[in-house]
Amino acid sequence: MPELPEVEVVRRGLARWAADRTVETVQVLHPRAVRRHTAGAADFAARLKGRKLGEPHRRGKYLWLPVTEEAALLAHLGMSGQFLIRPATAPPETHLRVRLTFADADGTDLRFVDQRTFGGLSIQDTVPGDPEGLPQALAHIARDPLDPEFDEDAFHKALRRKRTTVKRALLDQSLISGVGNIYADEALWRSKLHYERPTAGLTRPRTAELVRHIREVMGDALAAGGTSFDSMYVNVNGESGYFDRSLDAYGREDLPCRRCGTPIRRRAWMNRSSYFCPRCQPVPRAAS
């Protein structure tokens, strides 16, 4: 699943190549791609046609582009969704789901390609008066650690109240958004915290250290263009990221910890996997 850095890379690409362009035509080539637009594909196309796409924004793993003062084009990439800028004359991709053409002479169009069709697009009403045109569907999602308005003190207090374990908390989008399985493992490794560490015992300095490492991991991933394990994770120009080559924990089962040399372990966790160093990140007593 794409995480915050991958989605931010796409947002930056859309800001450069799609913002301030007027939609001329809309082709919906697969109904599942707009299933979250409950009025249907024809209404989706009609509400976009002739509209100028605004500056793209992101909340966690969601993207949106305002199209009016009251509505926005909302996108979730799901497992394999991609936004691609392509020459208008380029042949359609195998899994092309939605295509937008523009009323200008640039000669490119915007394509939403999604092999597994878990992602999707919709037109959503926005929160009244929100300066970024936040879709109402995202109002419950917390800000992410790269957001200038992320409240670190409020996050710490929420962790203490939640009485859960630290990795579960990092994946709870109502507490902190944009952190998925890969970057949670990476931040926990850098923080020397086991994924089953109870949040109730985290001190304010420990929370600050964890947030700092989350920001560092995401910043490093952004600099590399995101994490690419296959051809599905690409930016709007179809280029893959390279941060997977710098991962310290995730996907490194039985390889030596880069800090102490102990083999990295993998454990099944909530239908996923957790990777950790058993020496640097000892199991908390309650969990053991």
Is 162 marked within a binding site? Answer: yes
Closest alpha carbon to 93 in 234, 200, 188: 234
Is 95 marked within a binding site? Answer: yes
Region for 84 from its dihedrals, namely left if φ exceeds 0, alpha if ψ lies in -120 to 50, beta otherwise: beta
User: Which tokens in the block code for residue 280?
Assistant: 């640097």
Token pair 């949040």: residue:
199
Is 213 marked within a binding site? Answer: no
Q: Where are the beta strands (DSSP E) in the chain?
A: 23-28, 57-59, 62-66, 71-76, 81-87, 96-102, 108-114, 120-125, 265-269, 272-276
54-to-21, 68, 114, 284 alpha-carbon distances in Å = 8, 8, 23, 48
Phi, psi of 264 (to 5 degrees): -70, 140
Question: Residues with catalytic annotation?
Answer: 2-3, 61, 272
Contact 37, 275 (CB under 8 A): no
108-to-101, 188, 238 alpha-carbon distances in Å = 7, 42, 14
Query: Which residues does the annotation place in the binding site for DNA?
Result: 95, 116, 162
Query: Which residues does the annotation place in the binding site?
Result: 95, 116, 162
